[in-house]
Amino acid sequence: MDIVLTINGRPHHLSVEPRVVLLDALRDRIGLTGTKKGCDQGQCGACTVLIDGQRVLSCFVLAATVTGEITTIEGLAPEGGPLHPMQQAFIEQDALQCGYCTPGQILSAIACVHEGHAGSAEEVREYMSGNLCRCAAYPNIVQAVLQAAPQMDATAGPTSAETV
Amino acid sequence: MRPFALEMADTPAAATNYATQSAGTYLAGGTVLLDLMKLDVIEPQTLVDINALADTYGAIEADDDGITLGALVRMAEAERHPAIRRDYPVIRDALWQAASPQLRNMASLGGNVLQRTRCSYFRDVSWPECNKRAPGSGCAAIGGNNRRLAVLGVSDHCIASYPGDFANALVALGAEVGLRSADGSERRVPFEDLHRLPGDTPEMETNLVPGELITAFHVPAGPWTRRSLYRKVRDRTSYDFALASAVVALHLEDGVVAAARIGLGGVAATPWRAHEAEAALTGRPLDEAAAEHAAEAAFAGAVTHGGNDFKPELGRRTLVRALLEAAAMEVLP
Ligand SMILES: Cc1cc2nc3c(=O)[nH]c(=O)nc-3n(C[C@H](O)[C@H](O)[C@H](O)COP(=O)(O)OP(=O)(O)OC[C@H]3O[C@@H](n4cnc5c(N)ncnc54)[C@H](O)[C@@H]3O)c2cc1C
Ligand code: FES
Ligand code: FES
């Protein structure tokens, strides 16, 4: 099937079999390897990307069914420009060890803030529970999300900023 | 994943046509289907993408008679809906405590109720024995690792547990499910009749006719819906399937139970309504003794297999706690 994926604002034309998932299209076909494959089974969150601002698991999305705009970790900061506040917070809070889960954590965290679910450490833990970290950097990840949240404009989010 | 054909349905009629003429399998959020296809547990030849039908089946509508949830509403949308939060808190509880935020953005309510068991012998095709996956092959879970599996509604052929949360709220609240068949006719059936007990045909999980499309869930209003909650007990604090869970919705009059709606999750072969527990409570003041009596009734028929011997006790305690917490809820008139 001939498809067009809009990724980080740029169209990409490619021809895929129906069984190709977005994760593999990004990594193997387009060369955007920032998005990671952990379990390939919907359990770890390493493959999290945003589609029209909503966080989803790219290992469970057929590339040929995507119509919305995809944001990956490569699209968060302009080349040579300042990092996204969430990226900066992950660095400042030392919210990673090996870094494998980090792209998924950061995209999930951005959506978590936009959804209005970053009001407290407890809430962040619950709403970041879909992103596992094998190095168990969890306390620092929670701190990073709490640090970045007020720096992001919560009203610019894709989903209504209702809290629990 | 094995190769398959992909059809995009833009009308309900196109969807049911693909499903019947090309023996297609509906694709909504894909979080069950792609999971099991990657594991080679299922190998559909054709997937029919029904996500474009959200225009028709993607709304939530509430009125005095109840609330209707379209089959293509996403879990996350329903979880946020003001009428659900106010009038049906148990539905919201059952949704936000399920899966992860990413999965809830993707998963549709129709696909949710049709999720398949998480029994490892079903999911791992290297086990030859699984009556659900390979009818007649036996059940490796009986005598195997069955810690997470069911104790209610099981048979000698299958002890797989129904893993979902939301469906236990639907069954307890007496919901109906709207269906559209291939000839375009529509019917509504009690949600309680959607799933089948395993019996000696555990491979047949629902009473859906081939090609039938779930269109919506209709939850009736009742004086019990505001005093309702879902308690879920799991190995991890979050992002895990229930070991045991309880749906409770109560109509209390001066502390006496005028009506109770009770569902159980994580412990049964299908979404489970505990009619015996409801009957045991009705007309009694809701105190700890009454809650324990109801919980005994709910698990009177439990059958265990070693690894899951702990489940009736865990299930009873979960239900007792849910009943007492529901009784103590502050509820708007
Ligand atoms: C890691 C993980 C953790 C999870 N944890 C939980 C949990 O804690 N609690 C919980 O309740 N669930 C949990 N789930 C299950 C999750 O809720 C389901 O995967 C999801 O709800 C399925 O919805 P879907 O739209 O993605 O289904 P799909 O995969 O699209 O479809 C599922 C099935 O339903 C059929 N179908 C879909 N829509 C219709 C329709 N309208 N009419 C007829 N047939 C239809 C499909 O053909 C398919 O057979 C978890 C899943 C994963 C992967
Ligand atoms: S790779 Fe997608 S959730 Fe693990
Ligand atoms: S930093 Fe290693 S997995 Fe999270």
Question: In this structure, is residue A51 part of a structural domain?
Answer: yes
Q: What pLDDT is attached to residue B333?
A: 73
Q: Cβ–Cβ contacts within 10 Å for residue B120, how many? A: 16
First-to-final CA distance of chain A: 42
pTM of the model: 0.96
pLDDT tens readout for residues B151-196: 999 999 999 999 999 999 999 999 999 999 999 999 999 999 999 9
**Is A137 found in the same domain as A97?**
yes
**Is A120 found in the same domain as A91?**
yes
- pLDDT of residue A163 exceeding 90, the answer is no
DSSP letter assigned to residue A29 = I
Q: What pLDDT is attached to residue B332?
A: 77
- The residue written with tokens 């939530």 in the block is B60
**Is A104 found in the same domain as A58?**
no
Sheet (strand B46-49) strand order: B5-8, B46-49, B25-27
CATH number at residue A103: 1.10.150.120
For A162, which residue in chain B has the nearest alpha carbon?
Answer: B80
Q: How close is the nearest chain A Cα to the Cα of B54, in Å?
A: 14
Is A90 near chain B, with CB under 8 Å? Answer: no
Residue type, B273: R
Domain boundary among A36, A57, A75: A75
Query: Domain B1-53 belongs to what architecture?
Result: 2-Layer Sandwich (3.30)
For residues A75 and A7, the answer to whether their CB atoms sit within 8 Å is yes
Question: In this structure, is residue A101 part of a structural domain?
Answer: yes
Question: What CATH class has B60-114+164-220?
Answer: alpha beta
- pLDDT of residue B280 exceeding 80, the answer is yes
Which ligand 1 atom is nearest residue B71's CA? Answer: 41
Token pair recorded at residue B81: 């809906």
**Is A153 found in the same domain as A94?**
yes
Beta pairing partners, B262: B248
In angstroms, what is the C-alpha Rg of chain B? 20
Closest partner CB to A62 (pick from B3, B6, B100): B6
Of residues B11, B78, B22, the one with CA closest to residue B47: B22
**Is A68 found in the same domain as A30?**
yes
- The rounded distance, in Å, linking the Cα atoms of A127 and A113 is 10
Report CB contact under 8 Å: B51, A127. no
Question: In this structure, is residue A164 part of a structural domain?
Answer: no
- The rounded distance, in Å, linking the Cα atoms of A71 and A103 is 11
Report CB contact under 8 Å: A55, B99. no
Spell out which residues of chain B touch residue A127, defining contact as CB-CB under 8 Å. Answer: 101
Question: In this structure, is residue A80 part of a structural domain?
Answer: no
pLDDT tens readout for residues B220-239: 999 999 999 999 999 999 99
Q: How confident is the model at residue A155 (pLDDT cuts 50, 70, 90)?
A: very low
**Is A58 found in the same domain as A6?**
yes
Q: What is the pairing mode between strands B213-220 and B66-70?
A: antiparallel
Domain boundary among A75, A95, A117: A75
Under 8 Å CB-to-CB from B18, ≥6 apart: which residues? Answer: B7, B9, B24, B46, B48
Percent of chain A exceeding pLDDT 70 equals 93
Q: Is the CB of B26 under 6 A from ligand 1?
A: yes
Q: What is the mean pLDDT of residues A61-75?
A: 98
Q: How close is the nearest chain A Cα to the Cα of B285, in Å?
A: 32
Which ligand 1 atom is nearest residue B241's CA? Answer: 8
Of residues B169, B125, B193, B117, the one with CA closest to residue B148: B117
Percent of chain B exceeding pLDDT 90 equals 98
Domain span at residue A129? 85-159
Under 8 Å CB-to-CB from B126, ≥6 apart: which residues? Answer: none
**Every domain of chain B and the residues it spans:** 1-53, 60-114+164-220
**Is A56 found in the same domain as A91?**
no
Closest partner CB to B101 (pick from A19, A61, A130): A130
Q: What pLDDT is attached to residue B22?
A: 87
pLDDT tens readout for residues B297-311: 999 999 999 999 999
Q: What is the pairing mode between strands B46-49 and B176-180?
A: unpaired
Cα atoms in the Cβ-side hemisphere of radius 13 Å centred on A109: 34
Q: Give the total number of structural domains in chain A.
A: 2
